[in-house]
Amino acid sequence: MLTIRNWPPEGGVISVGSGVFAESMQEQGANVYQVKWQPPAHGKAELIDILDKLDGRSDIDEANQTAIERFSSAQPVLIGIGIAQEAIPGFGGRMLLHAGPPIAWDKMSGPLRGAVIGAILYEGWADSPDKAEELASKGDIEYSPCHEYSAVGPMAGVISPRMPVFILENRTHGNRSYSTLNEGLGKVLRYGAYSEEVLDRLRWMEKTLAPILKKAVELSGGIDLKSMIAQALHMGDEVHNRNRAGTSLLIRALVPYLVEVDHPQADIRKCLEFINSNDHFFLNLSMPAVKAMLEAAHGIHRSSVVTIMARNGTEFGIKVSGLGNQWFTGPAQIVKGLYFPGYSEKDANPDIGDSAITETAGVGGFAMAAAIPIVQFVGGAPEDAVRFSEKMYSITTTENRHFTIPILNFRGTPTGIDIRKVVETGILPQINTGIAHKDPGVGQVGAGLVNPPWECFEKAIIAFGKEYADGN
Amino acid sequence: MFKRLAIKPNNYHDSIVLMRLARTVRNIDRVVEAQVGMATELNKDAVREMGFASQELETATPNDLIVALVAETEDAVGNAEKVVAESLEGPARQHEPGVQKARIYATLSEAAATGGAGIAAISVPGEYAAREAREALANGLHVFLFSDNVSVEDEVALKKSGKEKGLFVMGPDCGTAVIGGLGLGFANKARRGKIGIVAAAGTGLQQVMAIIDRLGEGISEAIGTGGRDLSKEVGGITTFMGLTFLESDPNTRVKVLISKPPHPDVRDSLIRMLDEGTKPAVVCFMGEEIEEARRKRSGKVLFAGDLEKAAILAYQLATGESKESLYSDDELDKMACRVARTVDGGGYFRGLYSGGTLCHETLTILRRMGIDVYSNIAQDRRFLIEDAEESCANTCIDMGEDYFTRGKPHPMLDPGMRVPRYLAEAGSKDVGILLFDVVLGYGCHRDPAGVMADAVREARRIRKDMGQGLAQIAVVVGTAGDPQGLEKQAAVLREAGAEVLFSNRAAGDLAARIIKAQGGTRPCLR
């Protein structure tokens, strides 16, 4: 016996395809749900084939839930400050960590080269920039992505063995993450500057700032960064391009313990001034905080959730939870945005830095709707910010349990990028970022929006298909 | 000559929008040629033919937008670029504070997750259509599948899966449906009433709805099936579901079925089913000889030889009123005599249709009246023209056929695409009668009569210069409720000098009478 359900159909009509028909149905008073359709997977048949095999697979959905559960239950806490080679397991010798996927000296962009030279001078492995460059290019230095050592660094992201680093611990799963301390704006190492002024500041940070903060952090018994990020989102930060609220919250948390630190008052005051003068000080904590959360979600068999997005200024690379240690890379893109006076797109270095870890965790560009104060920075109106965030729900697995967006009715931020959804919809993650000058040491020349290259996701879905398409 | 090629990656737009835009751009002063389309192989070929070549073009995907322009001046190129940019980016950039924009969904599943919809209307390019339809069914939605170029294997799989779930799959290549009073695809605003229709033919369904509406009766549901539903492979899955529904539907008193002749196996079970039903049924198997059909008739099923007849029979059954036809023989005769006088010396008949079923019906009607007609869709190979661009003796062309719509909008959307051909026919001294359709309804062109009225006037001017008369007949398919305004559209055409009829059967009949009044037909000399 043939039963037809819901006929004539109650409710509205989903219109997929021509806007002409959607309009004519609206004209008739129908409730039309318009799908902004585009060919799946950029219209590539071989990718559609893979998607068809991965679609509606409950084993993959379950693996993603497991990954998200681990991410959500992670508790990143700032527990201390240490020296990189002592704090980071396996790191030391003549090794430098850098942002993004692996890269050789001859492929490095201007800011990253500058930062490498600066780090060599800082370590005293060479006594002049020329000699440092010679050393850097000869193969005597071992380069590795920060991410391979559970670390993250903004822009060039260079970490050398003697640099002080924040130490974070995920109190739920026990994994740790690391990041340098933010140097401030202008001529700084992370933009590839290596003048005396830069090196002097790094030395002051090592000798004065780090020890004082270390004591304050220890006295505090650890600072819960997850709830600090959640609060900052309610105060106009998205913790990537705007960190003013986060930095303020951090100062509030530190001050009671800073006054107890046994150090000359002038030094403590200088530390506070240093932090207070740099809105981005908190960036070097928001990044490792979400890194610790994402690392807990990595390595889940069959999970198609992205756990790393990072750029080295030449290439953009991603990692996927269920695909082990493989990087999937493509060319880093030029950031579209607002340039500081006197600069234009032709001064820009391609996208650089590990800071896209924030977007990977559902903040940064994904939480743009929380950061209305900076929408003009990226050339838009508040409703654009809302649109940016809303669009990301189409490519993510879940809504964040802890990070919420007031203007979206406290909806959780779009979290857990699913490579299947990116390839299906062609919607690329929206990254909200600073723009580095292409020459070493000039610094930040603007800020704006950028996407990963499509290739990363195409390569990842092919690898994922090879691994899991047959259902095993 | 100034040439410019721009490729905008990841910038998908619907083909109807782009084809319309390309047409607008081509009409800009001093623009020689323009292509605005997604980088499909077909469109890439067209751009290469314009003399463009680049690595970027080679690697572009169907998700990348190509804008290729050739113009006489640099200014014209600039103007064209501006028009493209404004049309594709304009509205999205406008900020209207306080205006809540409708939410846009990235995928069908995302829209389905709202739980607010019961049906999905799908009009994406054919190669992707089955995938979307599967997604709709998986989400428990009925499917209206406008897209064509879906394989018969996919069609069978979709319809089987739909049937299992109790969901309709209307299509592929389903042009029209009216479900719960809502017109899907190209659909007329028909009065609600007691007549339920299942149709495998888009404009055929529109014609039947339009005449029923004109008679004062209305439609309960009009369910489209797509043109292949009654083939052996598909086995009439959607047709059977539709008729089952109409049988049980309390609002339906009469069932109507419109289709090309079904596969014999399917036909038998279909007629058996209608016979076993409790409600009377009218069947129009377009092109099937009525005598042959009658031999197989039974108590509950009435056979109609044309669309008008199907509407009339349904009307009689639904209301008990008697009505023979929309136009009497007498009326048509008088019209034919009046027109024949203005067309001195005879001349061939040429029909240019936007509706495929209407074209097919005209071929059938003229042949029944003993007139041979050549066509690009003739089923009898003797009358199939080799070159769709070249008419031959009496010819009737379906201008919505693939040959004419490759990379160009369908004449239902762009009736003006027929105008160059129309004027060429008018300029031929062998031609005496021109016939065209004007199809109204939601989704169709906003002013098809206006576009064709210009052509009618121009044709008259051409003939005046030639010192010859010309009969111009327009068949207007629409209802009083259609957004274009039925009477207004008819008046515009009459004013331009066309004979206007509201029944395609009558229009064909009139053409035949004119031909006969002129002394019969002449053979094709090819």
CB A338 within 8 A of CB A379: yes
Q: Which pLDDT band holds residue B94 (cuts at 50, 70, 90)?
A: very low
pLDDT at position A311: 98
Tokens of A370: 């929380």
Of B61, B117, B124, the CB nearest to A33: B117
> What are the CB-based long-range contacts (under 8 Å, 24+) for B154-161?
B154/B130, B155/B226, B155/B228, B155/B233, B155/B234, B156/B233, B156/B234, B156/B237, B157/B130, B158/B130, B158/B133, B158/B134, B159/B229, B159/B234, B159/B237, B159/B238, B160/B237, B161/B134, B161/B137
B451 lies in the same domain as B495: yes
Instruction: Decide if B220 is inside a domain.
Output: yes
Q: Strands, DSSP E only, in B348-503?
A: 348-353, 374-375, 395-398, 431-439, 471-477, 499-501
**How many Cα atoms within 13 Å fall on the side-chain side of residue A231?**
15
Among chain B residues, the shortest Cα distance to A422 is held by B106
Q: Rounded to a whole number, what is the distance in angstroms from the first to the last CA of chain B? A: 40
Q: Please report where in the chains the tokens 């409710």 appear, as a residue.
A: A11
Q: What mean pLDDT comes out for the span A331-355?
A: 93
Q: Which amino acid is at B50?
A: M
Q: What mean pLDDT comes out for the span A444-449?
A: 89
Final residue in a domain of this structure, among B288, B319, B350: B319
Instruction: Decide if B103 is inside a domain.
Output: no
Q: Please give, rounded to a whole number of angstroms, the shortest distance from the CA of B382 to a CA of chain A.
A: 38
Instruction: List Cβ neighbours of A310 (8 Å cut-off, separation of 6 or more).
Output: A99, A100, A101, A145, A146, A147, A152, A316, A317, A318, A353, A354, A356, A357
Instruction: List Cβ neighbours of A276 (8 Å cut-off, separation of 6 or more).
Output: A247, A251
pLDDT at position B296: 58
CB A373 within 8 A of CB A241: no
Closest C-alpha among A171, A166, A115 to residue A143: A115
Mind giving me the DSSP string for A396-429?
Answer: EEEEEEEEEEGGGTTEEEEEEEBHHHHHHH-PPP
Final residue in a domain of this structure, among B270, B285, B319: B319
B165 lies in the same domain as B80: no
CATH of the domain at B26: 3.30.70.60
B87 lies in the same domain as B164: no
B91 touches chain A (CB under 8 A): no
Tokens of B476: 């207007």
B242 Rama class: left (phi>0) / alpha (psi -120 to 50) / beta: alpha
Helix (H/G/I), strand (E/B), else coil: B477: strand
B300 lies in the same domain as B208: yes
Tokens of A457: 């996701």
B160 touches chain A (CB under 8 A): no
Interface test with A, best of B182, B206, B220, B273 (most A CBs within 10 A): B182
For A325, phi then psi, to 5°, come to -95, 10
Tokens of A16: 């997929």
pLDDT at position A279: 93
Asked if pLDDT for residue B96 goes beyond 50, the answer is no
pLDDT at position B90: 57
Q: Strands, DSSP E only, in A101-193?
A: 142-145, 164-170, 176-180
Q: Which pLDDT band holds residue B88 (cuts at 50, 70, 90)?
A: confident
A63-114 pLDDT, tens digit each: 999 999 999 999 999 999 999 999 999 999 999 999 999 999 999 999 999 9
Which sequence spans correspond to the domains of chain A?
Answer: 1-37, 51-71+298-468, 76-286
pLDDT at position B9: 85
A425 Rama class: left (phi>0) / alpha (psi -120 to 50) / beta: alpha
CB B352 within 8 A of CB B425: yes
What's the complex ipTM? 0.88
Final residue in a domain of this structure, among B93, B124, B139: B93
B429-477 pLDDT, tens digit each: 999 999 999 999 999 999 999 999 999 999 999 999 999 999 999 999 9
Instruction: Decide if B496 is inside a domain.
Output: yes
Number of helices (H), then strands (E), belonging to chain B: the values are: 19, 20
Q: Which pLDDT band holds residue B526 (cuts at 50, 70, 90)?
A: very low
- Helix segments in B216-355, DSSP class H: 237-248, 264-276, 290-295, 307-319, 329-342
Instruction: List Cβ neighbours of A288 (8 Å cut-off, separation of 6 or more).
Output: A76, A151, A152, A166, A168, A177, A178, A179
pLDDT at position A213: 98
Tokens of A302: 């069959």
What angle, 0 to 180 degrees and rounded to 10, lies between the N-to-C axes of helices B264-276 and B237-248? 10
Query: In the CATH scheme, what architecture does the domain A51-71+298-468 have?
Result: Alpha-Beta Complex (3.90)
B430 lies in the same domain as B497: yes
Q: Please give, rounded to a whole number of angstroms, the shortest distance from the CA of B415 to a CA of chain A.
A: 15
CB A403 within 8 A of CB A367: yes
Instruction: Decide if B178 is inside a domain.
Output: yes
B60 lies in the same domain as B118: no
Asked if pLDDT for residue B250 goes beyond 80, the answer is yes
A64 Rama class: left (phi>0) / alpha (psi -120 to 50) / beta: alpha
Asked if pLDDT for residue B423 goes beyond 60, the answer is yes
pLDDT at position B342: 78
Asked if pLDDT for residue A55 goes beyond 80, the answer is yes
pTM of the full structure = 0.85
A135-170 pLDDT, tens digit each: 999 988 999 999 999 999 999 999 999 999 999 999
B21 lies in the same domain as B130: no
Q: Which residues of B touch A25 (CB under 8 A)?
A: 121, 182-184, 442
A383-435 pLDDT, tens digit each: 888 988 999 999 999 999 999 999 999 999 999 999 999 999 999 999 999 99
Domain covering A76-286, topology? Enterococcus faecalis V583 fold (3.90.1710)
- Are A36 and B106 an interchain contact pair (Cβ–Cβ within 8 Å)? yes
Gap between the Cα atoms of B185 and B205, Å rounded: 12
Tokens of B147: 């897209």
CB B122 within 8 A of CB B147: yes
**Domains contained in chain B, number:** 3
Gap between the Cα atoms of A228 and A243, Å rounded: 11
Helix (H/G/I), strand (E/B), else coil: A309: strand
- Helix segments in B94-179, DSSP class H: 108-112, 126-138, 152-165
What is the number of residues in chain B?
526
B349 lies in the same domain as B497: yes
B367-407 pLDDT, tens digit each: 999 999 999 999 889 999 989 999 999 999 999 998 998 77
Instruction: Decide if B305 is inside a domain.
Output: yes
pLDDT at position A56: 82
For B285, phi then psi, to 5°, come to -95, 95
Q: Please report where in the chains the tokens 């830095």 appear, as a residue.
A: A353
Domain housing B127: 108-319
- Are B107 and A424 an interchain contact pair (Cβ–Cβ within 8 Å)? yes
Q: What percent of chain B has pLDDT over 90?
A: 77
Of A2, A16, A426, the CB nearest to B124: A16
What average pLDDT is seen over chain B? 91
CA A126 to chain centre: 32
Instruction: Decide if B324 is inside a domain.
Output: no
- Pairing outcome for strands A76-83 and A336-339: unpaired
CATH of the domain at B242: 3.40.50.261
Instruction: Decide if B462 is inside a domain.
Output: yes
- Number of neighbours of residue A185 by Cβ within 10 angstroms: 14
- Are A18 and B183 an interchain contact pair (Cβ–Cβ within 8 Å)? no
pLDDT at position A443: 84
B288 lies in the same domain as B355: no
- Pick from A10-14, B99-103, B377-381, B504-508: least confident: B99-103
Per-residue three-class SS string for B422-448: HHHHHCCCCEEEEEEEEECCECCCCCH
B334 lies in the same domain as B473: yes
Instruction: Decide if B119 is inside a domain.
Output: yes
Q: Which residues of B touch A52 (CB under 8 A)?
A: 131
Of A5, A381, A428, the CB nearest to B95: A381
